[in-house]
Amino acid sequence: MFPRPIQQASAQSRVLYQIALPVALLLWLFPLLGVAVTSLRPASDLAAGNYFGMPSAIAWQNYVDVFTKTSTPMSQYILNSFKVTIPTVIGTLILSTMTGFALGVYRFRANLLVFFMFVAGNFVPFQILMVPVRDLTFGMGLYNTSAGLALFHIAFQTGFCTLFMRNFISALPRELIEAARVEGVAEWRIFWFIVLPLMRPAIAALAVLVFTFIWNDFFWATVLTTSASTQPVTAGLSSLNGQWIAQWHLVSAGSIVAALPPVLMFFLMQKHFIAGLTLGAVK
């Protein structure tokens, strides 16, 4: 194990380590803690210049205000986010289990070429896609709709997920598939009854990852949606920020609300989340 386990160190170092841990964490999360405290500070504190002292009261009211006292309530933006995120997760998983299966199981000449098309496409800067994707979305009459945004996300995320799924399926024991073929099982049945059940961990990992990526997307939200009835919460928060000039208690409460769903997702599905992110980090 590297570094040397702290249990083998002197008593002094052990105590030091136990103190250093919470101190480092506090420093690391400082911007977050600051915002969390500000989100509970009454507006009167900020007006009186009390930015860092103890809040004079706990103002849960700020959280109520971001849902009620805005031109568009946060709940609308959150709903819009779900309307984009959930179809994207489902669509991406369906497409990429299929592409991953094709590329992971079959050996054909164009295999590696198709695979690297997905991989390379996944790395391109969004800006090179921006104008044409916006025109395509316009052309289909889907500009400023959740469907327009979700369709693009499905296509783009399929690139990343194909990489993941294909590597996962390649690592499955080939004998399973060979044995089924000898038995004369049809190829689509191999996919449905043999491969798909084994892919559950990969599917879970990608579901959490794609959820987080799409929930946090800001660029495509600003390019493909414009009105409060369709903008996801990231774009919504940005426009609310414009209305709440210097009302940091509201900005903070709004930020925390917008961050909550992916944070909950992360803490509930931590194992899968990290398995997805660290794919390829070990041999």
Partner 1 sequence: MALASETPRPRTWWRRNQQRLTPWLFLAPGMAMFVFYVIYPIIASFRLSLYDYDGLSAPEWLGLANYAELWTDPAFTTSLYNNVLWLVLYLLAVPAGLFIAIFLNQAVMGIRIYKSLFFFPFVISQVVVGLMFAWFYAPNFGLLYNVIEYFTGKGVAILADPDLATYGIIAAGLWPQIAYVMILYLTGLNNVAPDQVEAARLDGAKGWKMLWYVILPQLRPATFIAVVVTVIGALRSFDLVSIMTNGGPFGSTRVLSYYMYEQALSEYGYRMGYGAAIAVVLFAIMMVFISGFIWKMVRDERGVH
Quick check: 215 and 101 in contact, CB under 8 A? no
DSSP 6: G
Query: Interface with partner 1 includes 21 (CB under 8 A)?
Result: yes
How many residues would you count in the chain? 283
19 makes contact with partner 1 (CB under 8 A) = no
- Smallest distance, partner 1 to C-beta of residue 54, A: 16
248 binds partner 1 (CB under 8 A): yes
Which residues lie closer than 8 Å to 253 by C-beta, 6 or more apart? 39, 40, 62, 63, 65, 66
Judged by CB, which is closer to partner 1: 63, or 152? 152
φ, ψ dihedrals at 24, nearest 5°? -60, -40
Do the Cβ atoms of 49 and 200 come closer than 8 Å?
A: no
Q: ∠ CA 237-277-261 to the nearest 5 degrees?
A: 30
**Nearest in space to 121 (alpha carbons), one of 138, 102, 141, 96:** 96
Dist. CA 228–CA 74, nearest whole Å: 10
Residues in 83-102 that interact with partner 1 by CB under 8 A: 95-96, 98-99, 101-102
Stretch that binds partner 1, among 31-39, 66-74, 82-90, 172-180 (CB under 8 A): 31-39
When asked if residue 12 is in the footprint of partner 1 (CB under 8 A), the reply is no
Instruction: Choose which of 56, 57, 126, 201 interacts with partner 1 (CB under 8 A).
Output: 126
Residue 193 interacting with partner 1 (CB under 8 A): no
Residue 236: name the closest of 59, 38, 40, 67 by CA: 67
Site for partner 1 in 143-172 (CB under 8 A): 151-152, 154-156, 158-159, 162
What does each C-alpha distance from 200 to 7, 165, 270 come to in angstroms?
A: 38, 11, 15
Q: Binding partner 1 by CB under 8 A: which of 15, 19, 29, 58?
A: 29
**Is there binding between residue 15 and partner 1 (CB under 8 A)?**
no
At 32, which helix (H) or strand (E)? helix 30-39
Interface pick for partner 1 out of 44, 60, 64, 108 (rule CB under 8 A) = 108
Q: Least distance to partner 1 from the beta carbon of 106, Å? A: 4
CA distances from 134 to 9, 85, 130, 216 (A): 59, 19, 6, 20
Q: Of 10, 11, 23, 49, which lies in the binding site for partner 1, with binding defined by CB under 8 A?
A: 49
Q: Which of 13, 15, 16, 17 binds partner 1 (CB under 8 A)?
A: 17
- What is the smallest separation between the CB atom of 108 and partner 1, expressed in angstroms? 6
Total residues contacting partner 1 by CB under 8 A comes to: 99
- How near is the Cβ of 187 to partner 1 at its closest, in Å? 4
Q: Which stretch binds partner 1 (CB under 8 A): 55-63, 68-76, 187-195, 196-204?
A: 187-195
- Binding to partner 1, residues 204-233 (CB under 8 A): 212, 215-216, 218-219, 222-223
Q: Are 265 and 212 in contact (CB under 8 A)?
A: yes
| Side-chain-facing half-sphere of 39: CA atoms under 13 Å | 17
- When asked if residue 139 is in the footprint of partner 1 (CB under 8 A), the reply is no
Closest contact distance (angstroms) between CB of 263 and partner 1 is 6
Under the binding rule (CB under 8 A), the answer on residue 238 touching partner 1 is yes
